[in-house]
């Protein structure tokens, strides 16, 4: 989701030479926020300066998203002060644009309309459509000129996740923001797309004086892009606008309240051959792969390839020639519900649109898969206890199982989606980016949950854009190239980041 807000009287981004680099654009001091008895922010200070790229860091539930909502005026603060100033001569306050982790595109509108609609003064007249298209093309070209021409007229529903993220970022850039807040913007981008985005962000900061706030759990990206960092822990600022060069990765992880030994995947690749009756995945160009129960199959490469394989597995449509064969599986499922009743679980990479049931309480979210499988609607006493046990086992920070998912951090929402499949007689679990946008500790909790399902005999099909994650956790990896075409299995002798980058044509 992308939002733009004008704070004070500032207009568009100032031209180079008219800005005051280094001037504080946002200055938050001792900000507090509580939801009922839960104190989310307990005195957070945070400053964003013109021309600076600032990493906002902290574990899931540390208060980052709440702070962003308060800064942008979406949520009122309980205490503390926030000052806003424009870096442009005569300006009284900056336009702030936010790209949230979850996308919020209007699916039936074109990309041009999704970007340009924030600039429309009236209905969608022919002249306004032409203006929207021009605005969209200019914004998209800042990121990738080739993709601009390719997608500008497409309806948003036809975009892949990474293309949708590009559109969200372009929409934010089109507002002429002086402050740009990016919440996990690279989660669905390839290495090449990420490099292009970083080049754009560095130029916007350097030449236009835009203050950029970058939220990410990927330390490599933070080191590559950012100048300073602020670290939150349990709603308190523990490092305030500290130069990144003065902190080691271990020190940052410790400040976040997480053990340094959990700085990367720790569940090593299993050296065993799973047993049981195999299922065969048959794909285009005579591709065939045999998968036995308990196997963790990784999918690597540009999104078009993995998503084209995943859709037929979960009843979301037919991929380009992919089908299941063997062990009682039909060639395709007519719907996701039919797939679930056949023992196929699915964790979508788009938890807002396809995962979280935002208007239903936590208990209904956790029990959703059981309801679909058994065609039940009523929450019985046994189910309430089962949900409470799962919430406790997963260490979900929830006040009550009757709270809405919005009360949870992004990482806890992701664990909630995984939790709905635990304890079910599953034959296969298909996961799209299950650790996207979560902190190190939550990643390890999810790794353990997925390994638990594999050890219980489920086939795991796991798509991730983080190569190191696939290499550490998967038994085998199937790769696609940058155009989404199958390239085959990663051989054991090349089971390395270099080997995977060579096979896919991209690094992560």
Q: What is the DSSP string of 119-163?
A: G-SSS--HHHHHHHHHHHHHHHHHH-HHHHHHHTTSBGGG--HHH
Shared domain check, 164 and 305: no
Q: Please give the residue that has the higher pLDDT: either 92 or 154.
A: 154
Shared domain check, 339 and 210: no
Residue of 378, 376, 396, 386 lying closest to 422 (CA atoms):
386
* Predicted local distance difference test score (pLDDT) of residue 331: 63
93 with 10: CB under 8 angstroms?
A: yes
Is the per-residue pLDDT at 310 higher than 60?
Answer: yes
The DSSP call for residue 88 is B
Is the per-residue pLDDT at 11 higher than 50?
Answer: no
Positive/negative CA dihedral, 450, 453, 455, 459: negative
Retrieve residue 476's tokens. 């085998």
Q: Give the Cα separation of 349 and 195 in Å (integer).
A: 22
Shared domain check, 245 and 285: no
Q: Please give the residue that has the higher pLDDT: either 122 or 113.
A: 113
Is the per-residue pLDDT at 232 higher than 80?
Answer: yes
290 with 280: CB under 8 angstroms?
A: yes
* Predicted local distance difference test score (pLDDT) of residue 317: 73
Question: Does residue 128 lie within any of the structural domains?
Answer: no
Shared domain check, 499 and 369: yes
506 pLDDT band, cuts 50/70/90, is: low
> pLDDT of 18-36, one tens digit each?
545 678 899 999 999 988 7
Shared domain check, 476 and 431: yes
Beta strands in 305-373 (DSSP E): 323-325, 344-347
Positive/negative CA dihedral, 448, 449, 452, 457: negative
Question: Does residue 476 lie within any of the structural domains?
Answer: yes
Question: Does residue 153 lie within any of the structural domains?
Answer: no
437 with 187: CB under 8 angstroms?
A: yes
Q: Please give the residue that has the higher pLDDT: either 25 or 10.
A: 25
3 pLDDT band, cuts 50/70/90, is: low
257 with 59: CB under 8 angstroms?
A: yes
Three-class DSSP category at 53? strand
Q: Which residues contact 441 (CB under 8 A, 6 or more apart)?
A: 59, 60, 258, 262
Question: Does residue 83 lie within any of the structural domains?
Answer: yes
Q: Which residues contact 404 (CB under 8 A, 6 or more apart)?
A: 358, 359, 360, 361, 362
Shared domain check, 415 and 362: yes
334 with 347: CB under 8 angstroms?
A: no
What is the rounded average pLDDT of the residues 331-335? 76
* Predicted local distance difference test score (pLDDT) of residue 30: 94
Q: Which residues contact 137 (CB under 8 A, 6 or more apart)?
A: 112, 148, 149, 152
Shared domain check, 368 and 232: no
Q: How many domains does the chain have?
A: 2
Shared domain check, 427 and 293: yes
Q: What CATH number did the domain enclosing 208 receive?
A: 3.40.50.300
Shared domain check, 208 and 79: yes
Last residue within a domain, chosen from 209, 236, 262: 262
Q: Give the Cα separation of 73 and 453 in Å (integer).
A: 42
Give CA 13 to chain center in angstroms: 28
Question: Does residue 270 lie within any of the structural domains?
Answer: no
Shared domain check, 245 and 293: no
Is the per-residue pLDDT at 287 higher than 80?
Answer: yes
Is the per-residue pLDDT at 1 higher than 70?
Answer: no
Last residue within a domain, chosen from 227, 262, 297: 262
Q: Please give the residue that has the higher pLDDT: either 380 or 173.
A: 173
Q: Give the Cα separation of 168 and 145 in Å (integer).
A: 16
Q: Give the Cα separation of 367 and 406 in Å (integer).
A: 17
Q: Provide φ and ψ at 490, rounded to 5°.
A: -75, 120
- Pick the range with the lowest mean pLDDT from 208-212, 317-321, 380-384, 392-396: 317-321
Highest mean pLDDT among 223-227, 284-288, 312-316: 223-227
DSSP string, 374-422: HT-----HHHHHHHHHHHHHTT---S-TTS-GGGS-HHHHHHHHHHTTT
Retrieve residue 316's tokens. 């979301």
* Predicted local distance difference test score (pLDDT) of residue 223: 92
Last residue within a domain, chosen from 211, 230, 262: 262
Q: Which residues contact 10 (CB under 8 A, 6 or more apart)?
A: 86, 88, 91, 92, 93, 94, 95, 178
Shared domain check, 492 and 434: yes
Is the per-residue pLDDT at 260 higher than 50?
Answer: no
Shared domain check, 100 and 12: yes
b/e code 33-56 from CB counts within 10 Å (16+ = b)? beeeeebbbbebbbbbbbbbbbbb
> pLDDT of 35-89, one tens digit each?
877 788 999 999 999 999 999 988 777 888 889 989 988 899 999 999 988 766 5
User: Which stretch of DSSP H or E encloses residue 30?
Assistant: strand 24-35
Question: Does residue 258 lie within any of the structural domains?
Answer: yes
Positive/negative CA dihedral, 276, 280, 281, 286: positive
Please, how many CA atoms are within 13 Å of residue 281, restricted to the half-sphere of its CB? 24
What rounded mean pLDDT belongs to the chain? 80
Question: Does residue 311 lie within any of the structural domains?
Answer: yes
* Predicted local distance difference test score (pLDDT) of residue 352: 63
Share of the chain above pLDDT 70, in %: 84
Q: Please give the residue that has the higher pLDDT: either 130 or 350.
A: 130
303 with 162: CB under 8 angstroms?
A: yes
Question: Does residue 129 lie within any of the structural domains?
Answer: no
Residue of 443, 484, 4 lying closest to 187 (CA atoms):
443
156 with 116: CB under 8 angstroms?
A: no
* Predicted local distance difference test score (pLDDT) of residue 261: 41
57 with 35: CB under 8 angstroms?
A: no
- Pick the range with the lowest mean pLDDT from 1-15, 114-128, 298-312: 1-15
Q: Identify the domain containing residue 409 by its residue range.
A: 279-504
> pLDDT of 387-430, one tens digit each?
888 777 777 777 778 888 887 777 788 888 887 887 788 889 99
């Amino acid at each position: 989701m992308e939002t733009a807000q004008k704070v004070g009287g500032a207009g568009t981004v100032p031209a180079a030479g008219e800005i005051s680099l280094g001037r504080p654009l946002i200055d938050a001091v001792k900000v507090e926020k509580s939801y009922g008895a839960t104190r989310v922010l307990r005195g957070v200070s945070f400053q964003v300066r013109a021309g600076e790229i600032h990493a906002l860091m902290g574990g899931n539930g540390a208060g980052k998203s709440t702070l962003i909502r308060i800064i942008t005026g979406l949520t009122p603060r309980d205490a503390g002060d926030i000052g806003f100033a424009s870096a442009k001569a005569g300006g009284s306050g900056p336009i702030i644009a936010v790209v949230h982790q979850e996308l919020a595109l209007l699916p039936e509108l074109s990309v041009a309309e999704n970007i340009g609609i924030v600039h429309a003064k009236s209905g969608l007249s022919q002249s306004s459509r032409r203006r929207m298209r021009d605005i969209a093309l200019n914004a998209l070209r800042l990121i990738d000129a080739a993709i601009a021409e390719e997608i500008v007229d497409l309806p948003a529903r036809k975009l892949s996740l990474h293309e949708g993220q590009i559109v969200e970022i372009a929409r934010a850039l089109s507002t002429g923001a002086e402050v740009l807040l990016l919440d996990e913007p690279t989660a669905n981008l390839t290495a090449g797309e990420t490099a292009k985005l970083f080049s754009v962000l560095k130029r916007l900061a350097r030449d236009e004086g835009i203050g950029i706030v970058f939220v990410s759990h990927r330390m490599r990206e933070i080191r590559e892009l950012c100048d300073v960092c602020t670290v939150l822990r349990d709603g308190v600022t523990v490092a305030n606008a500290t130069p990144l060069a003065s902190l080691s990765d271990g020190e940052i992880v410790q400040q976040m309240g997480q053990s340094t030994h959990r700085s990367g995947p720790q569940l090593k690749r299993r050296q065993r051959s799973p047993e049981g009756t195999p299922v065969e995945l048959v794909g285009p160009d005579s591709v065939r792969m045999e998968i036995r129960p308990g196997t963790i199959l990784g999918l690597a490469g540009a999104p078009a390839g993995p998503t084209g394989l995943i859709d037929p597995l979960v009843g979301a449509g037919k991929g380009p020639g992919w089908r299941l064969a063997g062990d009682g599986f039909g060639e395709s499922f007519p719907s996701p519900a039919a797939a679930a009743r056949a023992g196929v679980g699915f964790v979508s990479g788009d938890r807002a649109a396809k995962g979280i049931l935002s208007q239903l309480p936590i208990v209904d979210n956790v029990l959703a898969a059981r309801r679909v499988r058994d065609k039940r609607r009523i929450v019985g006493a046994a189910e309430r206890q089962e949900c409470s046990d799962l919430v406790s086992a997963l260490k979900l920070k929830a006040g009550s199982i009757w709270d809405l998912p919005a009360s949870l951090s992004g990482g806890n929402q992701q664990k909630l989606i995984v939790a709905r499949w635990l304890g079910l007689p599953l034959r296969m679990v298909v996961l799209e980016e299950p650790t996207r946008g979560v902190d190190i500790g939550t990643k390890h909790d999810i790794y353990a949950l997925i390994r638990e399902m594999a050890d219980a005999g489920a086939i795991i099909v796991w798509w991730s854009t983080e190569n190191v994650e696939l290499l550490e956790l998967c038994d085998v990896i199937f790769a696609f190239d940058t155009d989404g075409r199958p390239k085959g299995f990663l051989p054991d002798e090349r089971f390395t980041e270099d080997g995977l980058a060579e096979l896919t044509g991209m690094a992560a």
